[in-house]
Structure formats: structure tokens, C-alpha cells
Structure 1
Amino acid sequence: MKINTVSIVGCGWFGLPLAKLLVKQGYQVSGSKRDKEAANKLKKEGIQGFSLDLDHHKFNGQCVETDKLFQNGVELTSELESEFKASLHTHALVINIPPSLRKQPNGYLKRLVYLKSLMADHVYQRVIFISTSGVYPATGQSMTEGDAVAHSPSSNILLQAESLFLQDYPTCVLRFSGLMGPARHPGRFLAGKTGLPGADAPVNLVHLDDCIGAVSCLLSKEPLSPIYNLCASAHPGRSDFYSQAAKCLSLVAPTFGEEVQVAKIIDGSKITKELGFNYRHNSPLDMLDKC
């Protein structure tokens, strides 16, 4: 079956421009914001906006408990239920929920478990789960999709999150490297800092344009592997990259000491080899003009 309807949970820095592109490509797109007023504004972009607060179990401002929404697998009939189905029970679902593990280490999995209960037993043609290259350890080696391991508490949570959907739905996990793009210029990240380690450690970055393009690719191609990395092919050293990035914004360049930092190199080539996806931005240094 052809995918015609797509729901995006999380229409923020990445999800909103993704939704706009998918609308242009002819998909019927639903998108969530936590705030109802912000969700209503999505209509101007041709997006069916809905508010979804996974912390407080609210859909369009109303508290939604799954045991009341679904009873023994039989859907209840109501205006809320009709809105709910149109918003979340689509052909494809893109799950884009920032982990925020430093602020709320336990909140991420709780949000995803609740979202999964809302998905229930709906038959999706495709679920795309946005994850991160934080699942890979720093060993100094090139990391492909099979190299993920729970090497820290945060990586353990991230892998649990992926498994929640891989085990029960036709899911493709897309692991983003460090993100660059409009309103996310890396020149601010390390500007003015001194004595930093890992001057020669390679950076792993990807531009917003390629994140959007990759999801569009995953919606239109098949068959898919369960997991793909997304990372530019060039990996300049931290000192060269962040010094140049700071200068682009006329900020004080960071300085690096002699301390060596064991790093990793994310291999983002699998999606190109299997699906013919072409990165628009393969050099992080060149991306600095696109932020």
C-alpha cells in the first residue's frame, strides 16, 4: 500500500520543516506541538496540528487515559476519538522526541511508553524513530549500525527507546549525528573556551537538510533495514572545525590543549548504498555557510 498520511510527533526545529516538505510532496500531514495554540498555527502551513503532552497525558487539551480510549480493543466513538485517529493512526508515524536525558533521565522512556499505548494495535505501514549516534562508544574506530552498545547510562536508555518500537512495529530507526542548520550554528558551542581536549578528534555532524531528506527517502523506499546512521562523510578535527565555526560568527575561537580524546567516526554510508540517498552536505566546514 502507498503511504499517503503521515503523522509527526514533535514539530519543532526538525519536525516542522520536515512536515512542510512532506506537504509539498503531496502527503497529508499531521503534526504535534505540546501547546494547543501552537498546534493550531500549523494549519497555516497545510498541516493538521494537534497538541500532545506526553508528560501529562493530554491530547488537544483533554486528559486521555488509554484504558478509557480503548476498551478490550474496541474503539469508543466520540469526537475526541475521531480527532485522535486522524492525528495519530496514520499510514506512517515519525517519532521525534528529544531525549533531554540530562534534565529528566527517567522522563524519556515514560513519554515513549505512553505514546506507544496511544499507538495501540493500529497497523502502521511504517514507523520512523529518530534516535542519535550517542548509542556508539568512543573507541577510536568507525561505527556502523551494528556497533551500538550500552556503554553508559544514557546510551542504555537510548537503546531501550529504540527497542520499544523495533519489537512491535515496522520500524526504521534513524540515528542522527550532531545537528547543524538554521538557528543551530556550531560556532557558539565552544567559542571562547580554553584548554579543551581532543584537538584532532574527528567531528560527526549532519545538516538539517539531510535529516529531512533522509526521512522523505525512508517514506518512499523499500525494503528498509531496521537502522540507518546519518552523518556527513567528512570528519575534520575538532580544533580546525570549531575554530573556523567561531570565526564565522566573529566569536573568539576556542583553544585546545595537548590532552588526547578518544573519539569515534560515524559511518553514514549505509543509507546511500542501500537506498540511493544522496547527502546534500558532505563537509561540515562547508555546512557553516548553510546555518
Structure 2
Amino acid sequence: MIHSVAVVGCGWFGLPLAKALVEKGLLVSGSKRDTTQASALKEQGIDGFVLDLDAPQPFDGEQLAKLHADAIVINIPPGLRRGDSGYLVRLERLQTLMGKHAYQRIIFISTTGVYPANGKVQHEADATAYNDTSKILLQAEAMFKGAVIVRFAGLMGPKRHPGRFLAGKTGLTGAMLSVNMTHLDDCVGGVMTLLTHQGQLAPAYNICSPEHPNKAAFYQRAAAILGVAEPEFASSGDKAEDKVVDGSLICRQLGYQYQHYDPFEMLKFC
């Protein structure tokens, strides 16, 4: 039985997850890179600790105790789109700190970027190193033995409104290609389900809303809602390059029910 959870990375997703775990009565520790921010987590009932994997400092026994909980959620953004080359190094440093502690459950947050756009529906077993980015992502997933991999599709929710993603851009391609989105509520709900389930879990789960509108319709509607310039698309896109992420495994195996099915409706909750 899991009584305590360490959340590595209490940011956009990690903080709401940590707060939800506290509400469930679990003992929750959470990391921030800054001392002041780590201390502020106490106001949310979270036992904060400082963890900066870019400038690692020696961990004392108290800090290690907070990291060595019954379960751990590893939520370190890859930053690969920004040209960040330190992702795997950070994970190696975390791995060293985790040591040989016997976690009951390790949840590793990843991304559906491990699936190619090949015109097919993508399931958990379809991940492949089809480019340099996906190769790094898969290397990261393989680092933590026994971890359950959780792959989020495109993220949206408070402070992440899709209307801003492509606002005012022109000459875009792929107007009719599918959108794969996940609301923050389902990121939290899905991971909560995996942490509290007492039976065996699959090696990986996708978290992605069940419906997949086309790119042009979705992003133009999102921009219109915000009152910003709508993106303009130059081509419909080649369906051979489409990608639809199937997020149903967690539903079929564990009975999870998505809180948000339709990305258009999800726009109301951003």
C-alpha cells in the first residue's frame, strides 16, 4: 500500500498532482529548484525540498528521506524543442540520488513524441526511435527499471491555452491532420489512477483525449475564443503523415474515465 509519494518537479502538472494526492490523505513531498519556492509548498500541505539537477548539491539525510517515499513521480521536462542537451544527464543525476531505494511504484512522465506520424493509430507498443528526439525520449524511458511510463499528448489547461500556440501564423501545413490533446485534469486523474491502483500495471499508458478534431478547425476555434489572430493554413496535409494517439488502455484495464473527451469542449477549461 502506498502511503507516501515524492513528486519530482512541482510545476504546471506536478503541483496540481501533489495537491490532489494531499487531498487523498497521502504524505507528499515535492521538489522545486528554488529554496523559496520549495518552502512555499508547505502552504499546500506538501513537504518541499530543493532539487536542481543542473547544479546538483549534496543531499543530506532529510532530503533523501523526502525523495525516498513509497512511490515517486518523475516529471522532468525534456526541453528538447529548445535545443536542451542536458535531459539525460539530469535523469542520471536523479537516478543516483534514488539509489537502491525500493520504491513500490515509479511513474515516469514522458510524451507521445515517441510515436511517428505515419498515418496510423498509435498504441503504447508502437513507440519507436524514428528521429533524434524520439531516440532520446526512449533512452530516458528505459533508464528507470520497473517504471510505469505515462505518455501525455499535447498539453492544455490553465495557463496553456491552445489559442496562443499558433496565433497569427500563416502558411501552415497539415490543416486536416488530427489533433492529439490532453487536459491537465486528465493528466492528474490518469496518474492518480496509476498510483492508487493496487494490481499489476502495463509498462506504459497513453493519456490522450478520445476525440481528434482536425488541426485547422481546432486551432482556429481556440484563437477565436481568445480574440487573437487565427492561424492560416496553406495545405490540408498528407494523411500518410497523420498521427492519432489511442489513450484507451488506461480505461480498458483500470476503468479510468476521461474527464474531457472533446478538445473543443476542453477549451472552456483553460
Same fold (TM over 0.5): yes
Equivalent AA in structure 1 for residue 182 of structure 2: V
Alignment map for 1:92-103 (pairs within 5 Å): 92-103=71-82
Give the match for residue 215 of structure 2: 238
Determine the C-alpha separation between the residues in 1 that align with 2:52 and 2:82.
17
Q: Identify the match of residue 63 of structure 2 among 74, 77, 84.
A: 84
Determine the C-alpha separation between the residues in 2 that align with 1:151 and 1:7.
32
Equivalent AA in structure 2 for residue 15 of structure 1: G
Give the match for residue 44 of structure 1: 43
Q: Identify the match of residue 271 of structure 1 among 245, 250, 255.
A: 250
Report how far residue 232 of structure 1 moved. Answer: 0.4
Unmatched runs of 5 consecutive residues or more in structure 1: 65-79
In the comparison of the two structures, how many residue pairs are matched? 267
Cα distance, 1:194–1:103 mapped onto 2, change above 3 Å: closer
- Aligned partner of residue 138 in structure 1, secondary structure: coil
- Aligned partner of residue 53 in structure 1, secondary structure: coil
Q: Deviations over 1:45-90 (max 9, x none)?
A: 10000010111112xxxx34xxxxxxxxxxxxxxx21x12321110
Residue 260, structure 1, aligned to residue 259, structure 2: no
Give the match for residue 135 of structure 2: 156
Equivalent AA in structure 2 for residue 252 of structure 1: A
Determine the C-alpha separation between the residues in 2 that align with 1:201 and 1:102.
21
Give the match for residue 218 of structure 1: 194
Structure 1 segments of 4 or more deviating over 6 A? none
Determine the C-alpha separation between the residues in 1 that align with 2:135 and 2:64.
32
Q: Deviations over 1:100-147 (max 9, x none)?
A: 013344200000011001011000000000000000001011000000
Determine the C-alpha separation between the residues in 2 that align with 1:290 and 1:53.
32
Report how far residue 223 of structure 1 moved. Answer: 1.1
Give the match for residue 124 of structure 1: 103
Report how far residue 260 of structure 1 moved. Answer: 1.6
Give the match for residue 73 of structure 1: none
Q: Deviations over 1:224-270 (max 9, x none)?
A: 00100010010000010000000000111111112524220000000
After TM superposition, the score normalised by the length of structure 2 is 0.97
- Aligned partner of residue 40 in structure 1, secondary structure: helix
Determine the C-alpha separation between the residues in 2 that align with 1:186 and 1:260.
20
> Identity of aligned pairs, percent?
54
Report how far residue 220 of structure 1 moved. Answer: 1.2
- Aligned partner of residue 109 in structure 2, secondary structure: strand
- Aligned partner of residue 111 in structure 1, secondary structure: helix
Equivalent AA in structure 2 for residue 149 of structure 1: T
Give the match for residue 69 of structure 1: none
Higher relative contact order (CA 8 A, sep 6+): 2
Determine the C-alpha separation between the residues in 1 that align with 2:170 and 2:80.
26
Q: In terms of Rg, which structure is larger?
A: 1
Cα root mean square deviation, aligned: 1.0
Cα distance, 1:53–1:104 mapped onto 2, change above 3 Å: farther
Give the match for residue 151 of structure 2: 175
After TM superposition, the score normalised by the length of structure 1 is 0.90
Determine the C-alpha separation between the residues in 1 that align with 2:235 and 2:149.
37
Residue 281, structure 1, aligned to residue 260, structure 2: yes
Residue 194, structure 1, aligned to residue 170, structure 2: yes
Determine the C-alpha separation between the residues in 2 that align with 1:260 and 1:180.
23
Determine the C-alpha separation between the residues in 2 that align with 1:103 and 1:264.
23
- Aligned partner of residue 80 in structure 2, secondary structure: coil
Residue 146, structure 1, aligned to residue 125, structure 2: yes
Q: Deviations over 1:10-44 (max 9, x none)?
A: 00000001100100001000000000110000001
Report how far residue 192 of structure 1 moved. Answer: 1.0
Give the match for residue 206 of structure 2: 229
Which range is displaced more, 216-225 or 27-36? 216-225
